[in-house]
Amino acid sequence: MIVQPNRDSIQAASNALLAGQLVVLPTETVYGLAADIRNETAIASIFRLKGRPNDNPLIVHLHDQSQAKFVARELPDRFFQLAERFWPGPLSIVLPKHRVLSKSITAGGETVAIRIPDHPVTLGVMSSANLMLAMPSANPFMSLSPTRADLVSHEIESGVWGILDGGASKVGIESTVLDLSDQQPSILRVGIVSRQEIEDCLSEYIQTGGDSTKSPGQYRRHYAPRTKAVLVTEFSQNAHGISFSEPKTDHIILAGHDPHEYAKNLYAALAELDTLGVEVIEILCPPETEEWAPIWDRITKAATPL
């Protein structure tokens, strides 16, 4: 059930979470499937409902920076610099976990990823009961992340208290994941918060894609439509697909001229093309520059065959 957010429904969603139910909540990245981090049964339901492998850790969402000390063991200076600059926002920070935090959230590991999402509805749900939420994207494992309430699948909808409708996600792709649990900070997943911005904030060099064993859940195929997707340097005749420049036919969706606008529209465009029953979705290769790196990451994964 899609629920319009107001004072009563935000309170009701918060109560449902406290009672151990799952709720789909809007964030600026994508819609999330939320559970109270203290409720083991609810955490287990997230993995079951998504069909998510147990070795893929969940990001813990806070509504206030001061909650970080309850889930992370150490908060280095870098953490405070980044949190001041980028939160609320699409940057998840990996830190050594606090001993009380359940390992079912961290997939058995000793680190936890945390962030404050930038959406008033979800911040309202959390702050009304001082909640911290484990919240992966609200999609079945491997499939497209929903960026609007109506794009959440019936499978997911059937297992939750409700879907709070917070409009279209304004970032549109998953958060940047930055690992601070080692001496040398490194980006484990690229996103809209860029390496350059992180380097400017910390005044130091940042590695990308460092140690792949530290980045569980980075599967080769991910974020994919059911229809076969391919990357092309030129559209075929009568192609159905996605472009970053003015399309010449009605069957091509212009996702955006720049990577930010493109990120915002990408998943909805793939979802729309997925309903057409076409054989192939063609995705025009964007420029090979660093600012397009998060788009390259997502479209490459979408186009990796099963």
217 binds, among ligand AMP, Mg ion, none (CB under 5 to 8 A by kind): ligand AMP
Element (H, E) at 197: helix 195-202
Q: Which residue is nearest to ligand AMP (CB)?
A: 217
Of the pair 43, 113, the CB lying nearest ligand AMP is at 113
Site pattern 172..191 for ligand AMP (x: CB under 6 A) = --x--x----------xx--
Select from Mg ion, ligand AMP, none the partner in contact with residue 11, using the beta carbon and a kind-dependent cut-off of 5 to 8 Å: none
Q: How far apart are CA 143 and CA 243, in angstroms?
A: 21
Beta sheet of 176-179, edge-to-edge order = 2-3, 163-164, 23-25, 32-36, 133-134, 60-61, 111-115, 91-96, 176-179, 186-189, 207-208
Q: Which of residues 202-221 bind ligand AMP (CB under 6 A)?
A: 214-218
Maximum CA extent, the chain: 58
Only one of the segments 15-23, 51-59, 283-291, 298-306 lies at the binding site for ligand AMP (rule: CB under 6 A); that segment is 51-59
In the complex, least distance from residue 269 CB atom to ligand AMP, rounded to whole angstroms: 19
How far is residue 192's CA from residue 261's CA, in Å, rounded to a whole number? 11
Binder to Mg ion among 29, 45, 137, 175 (CB under 5 A)? 137
Quick check: 73 binds ligand AMP (CB under 6 A)?
Answer: no
91 closest CA partner among 14, 29, 150, 177: 177
Residues 109-148 that bind ligand AMP (CB under 6 A): 109, 111-113, 136-137
Contacts of 176 (CB under 8 A, 6+ apart): 90, 91, 92, 187, 189, 190, 191, 192, 193, 194, 198, 294
Q: Which is nearer to ligand AMP, 188 or 269 (CB)?
A: 188
Residues found near Mg ion in the complex (CB under 5 A): 136-137
Residues found near ligand AMP in the complex (CB under 6 A): 56-57, 59, 94, 106, 109, 111-113, 136-137, 174, 177, 188-189, 214-218
